[in-house]
Amino acid sequence: MTLDWIRRYCLSLPEATEQIQWGNDLVFKVAGKIFAVAPVDPGSLVVCFKVTPEEFVDLTERAGIVPAPYLARAKWVALEDAAALSQTEYQRLLRQSYVLVVSKLPKKVRVPLLEKM
């Protein structure tokens, strides 16, 4: 997956925003909370996002997927290889990360966002 594809997909989610943070990381947020991070400059990571505890264990056993630096304790994974997931898996996991973050928001913010999905 390319950064452009990741950007288009993340921004297609309801009320998702983007900003450059920590120097040169493209951060995707909903209601001010981060649901995905992608480095702007090519490097060792492709994208990081939140997953369920069960998927964290399964995904980090796959080649090209590691616990995300600084965020692994919150069950975030980092992709070192863009080919580690299929496009369908990217879509499902990025959407799930968005939903996991939205589910922790206050009800008056959470309900309208989930209704838009």
23-48 residue pLDDT tens: 889 999 999 999 999 999 877 788 99
User: What is the pTM for the complete model shown?
Assistant: 0.92
| pLDDT computed for residue 23 by the predictor | 86
Q: CA 78, CA 60: separation in Å to the nearest integer?
A: 9
Residues in the chain, total: 117
Q: Does CATH number 3.40.50.720 belong to domain 3-111?
A: no
Alpha helices, H only, 1-117: 3-11, 53-60, 87-102, 107-115
- The structural domains of the chain, with segments of one domain joined by +, span 3-111
